Amino acid sequence: MPNHEFEYIKHSKTSYCKIFLAEIFQCTPQHWHSDMELLLVLDGTLTITSLPDNPIAKEHDMIVFNSYETHRLTCTSGKGLVLAVQFSSSFCRSYYPSFEYTYFHQNLLCSCSKYTALQKLMLQMASSFFREPDYFSLHCIGLLNLLTEQMLLNLPYGLLDMQERSSREKNIFRMQSILNHIENHYTEKLLLSDISEQKGLSLHYLSHLFKKTLGISFQNYMKQLRFEKALNLLTETDSSILDICIASGFSDIKYLNQLSEEYFGCTPGQYRRRLREKQSAPVPIPYIRECSLTNESLSENFSILCSYYPELELDHV
């Protein structure tokens, strides 16, 4: 469920980048992170619901998210699979410092010959990352340089000036502080006017900042956050629906019922029974599941990738 949050990305296997396969069930949390992110859709149909026109990505399409760009994906096919490459935009600071302040204007890259080289580089990076041959970390960072070159050659982009950089950093700090406050007090009555007064900001400014940064109004954010908390309690406890409603911050049980009907087409109690009775095709809680990084799973990831792109098995770059 959409919990608009800052995601800290740990580059545990190689410096500056992280590569993984991710299964998407219904939707991902709306979030942002300091890394730039490039996705390749392997299976399913994804709607980028964090963008105004809700563009749709199909199999073999790619998606670009800039550093600190809020994003959320909804899988209209029920379940999707993506290859994700996340990397720090500061990786080339010593020899190409302007890339750290590059902002790409195009998020959706529909599959076509123009992006063939970019797609191939993603697959080569993933192949090396998952198989871990000798010197694979050097290979991955070399391919990352080529990948960013292809992005600059083929995608429209701009550079943030000093004022834009300063404004972005200030807004990110403010929003993270505000979201931390909400996370600690979501069970209480929270008004945007109270938060604006506490933070010394005008109500109009904070409302605009919320919408601009997260792509959603404060009221909708609160509904979705509380719904996520309620779903966790529904699946992990035996608490009554009323107790769950109170514990997740809803002022009236009708709001929880309305969201449950909207997302699942049933009441919270019916949804819980479906999961526990394991009836046919119960609706899963929307989430994104990242494949783990054990040696065994990395090998499995490579096999999964080869099932979509058999040439990788022969290539073994």
- Please, are residues 120 and 317 in contact by the beta-carbon 8 Å criterion? no
- Phi then psi for residue 54, to 5 deg, are 50, 55
Return the structure tokens found at 128: 């090396």
> pLDDT by residue for the chain (317 residues), tens digit each?
444 554 545 555 667 899 999 888 766 667 778 899 999 999 999 988 777 788 999 999 999 999 988 888 888 776 789 999 999 999 999 999 999 999 999 999 999 999 999 999 999 999 999 988 899 999 999 999 999 999 999 999 999 998 888 888 888 888 889 988 999 999 999 999 999 999 999 999 999 988 888 778 899 889 988 988 898 898 889 999 999 999 999 999 999 999 988 877 889 999 888 877 754 444 444 444 554 444 456 677 888 888 888 887 655 54
The DSSP secondary-structure symbol of 10 reads P
Amino acid at 100: E
Domain ranges of the chain: 5-159+290-313, 162-215, 221-277
Report which of 231, 83, 92 is spatially closest to residue 152, judged by C-alpha positions.
Answer: 92
- Please, are residues 74 and 94 in contact by the beta-carbon 8 Å criterion? no
- Output the pLDDT for position 317: 44
Q: Looking at domain 221-277, which CATH architecture does it have?
A: Orthogonal Bundle (1.10)
- Output the pLDDT for position 171: 85
Cα 150 from Cα 133, distance rounded (Å)? 25
Tokens 């809680």 correspond to what residue? 285
Q: What is the CATH number of domain 5-159+290-313?
A: 2.60.120.280
- Output the pLDDT for position 284: 47
Cα 49 from Cα 68, distance rounded (Å)? 16
Cα 94 from Cα 141, distance rounded (Å)? 14
Cα 79 from Cα 282, distance rounded (Å)? 13
The DSSP secondary-structure symbol of 250 reads -
Cα 121 from Cα 127, distance rounded (Å)? 10
Residue-wise pLDDT for 164-219, tens only, equals 888 888 888 888 899 889 999 999 999 999 999 999 999 999 999 888 887 788 99
Largest CA distance in the chain: 62
Cα 169 from Cα 164, distance rounded (Å)? 9
- Output the pLDDT for position 302: 82
The DSSP secondary-structure symbol of 292 reads P
